[in-house]
Structure formats: structure tokens, C-alpha cells
Amino acid sequence: MAVPKRKHSNSRTGKRRSHHAMKPKQLQSCPRCGTPQPSHVVCPNCGQYMGRTLVETEE
């Protein structure tokens, strides 16, 4: 089994972990109602996706 010969320094460990940070969700506004929503997801407010009504909502 491979075992490291020496301890990695804190800076080397930090460089490796620099890409592990959590990023916020990218939100886009719905073209019909303007509410923010994740991309490629049916709008929770109006039920539209790609210009079509996929979910009937009570308005």
C-alpha cells in the first residue's frame, strides 16, 4: 500500500482544497413572471418551461 514519505505542508493542502468551496446557486429570472429560479427547471410560480406550460397553477 502506498504511504506518503513526508507530511504535506499546510499551504500544499490548502492549494489542493482551494476548489472545494461551495458556490451559490445560479438563478435566472423567469421570462413570463420574472421570479428567480434555477436554470433548466420549471418555474415554481407560473409552471412555464421553454415557453410551454408544463404545470397547471391556480392564479
DSSP-assigned letters across all residues of the chain: ----SSPPPHHHHHHHGGG----PPPEEE-TTT--EEETTS--TTT-EETTEE-S----
pLDDT attached to residue 2: 92
pLDDT digits (tens, 9 = 90+) for 25-59: 899 999 888 999 998 999 988 888 888 888 777 65
- Residue 13 or residue 25, greater confidence: 13
**Does 14 score more than 80 pLDDT?**
yes
